[in-house]
Homo-oligomer: A and B are copies of this chain.
Amino acid sequence: MKRDQAEELKSLQDTLYFIGGKWRIPVINSLCNGNRRFREIERSIPGITTRMLSKELKEMEMNKLVKRTVYDDTPVSVEYEPTEYCRTFGNIIMEMINWGRDHRKFIQKNK
């Protein structure tokens, strides 16, 4: 069975496209870590602005990565939940965390 490099490249680029900007992966990670409320997610990602988080969550809702639920208590509270589909990024994120960790060690050692 031959490896189809063009097909692999296409898959790779699809993934990169889907991951898109700077915040998608951190937001997925935050949701998968159990953060649910808007401000809670915001606080869990230092540096993100309200605007970017809002945009990101909207797009992710459209892409079925996140489920938004409004609870009608007073005051209204909103919950964001990662879908099963969202969780399929688990392996990629894990590998990225591992790489970043090893990279840091590597830098420290060679400094």
Contacts and interface: CB of A to CB of B under 8 A. Distances in A.
Interface of A: 5, 7-16, 18, 22, 25-26, 29-30, 33, 44-45, 85, 88-89, 91-93, 95-104, 106
Q: Which of A14, A18, A45 has the most CB of B within 10 A?
A: A14
Contacts of A9: 26, 29-30, 44-45
Q: Is the interface of A mostly helix, strand, loop or mixed?
A: helix
Given A9-B30, A92-B95, 15 more contacts: A5-B33, A8-B97, A9-B26, A10-B100, A11-B100, A11-B101, A12-B25, A12-B29, A12-B93, A14-B100, A14-B103, A14-B104, A15-B96, A89-B99, A91-B95
A30 B9 CA distance: 9
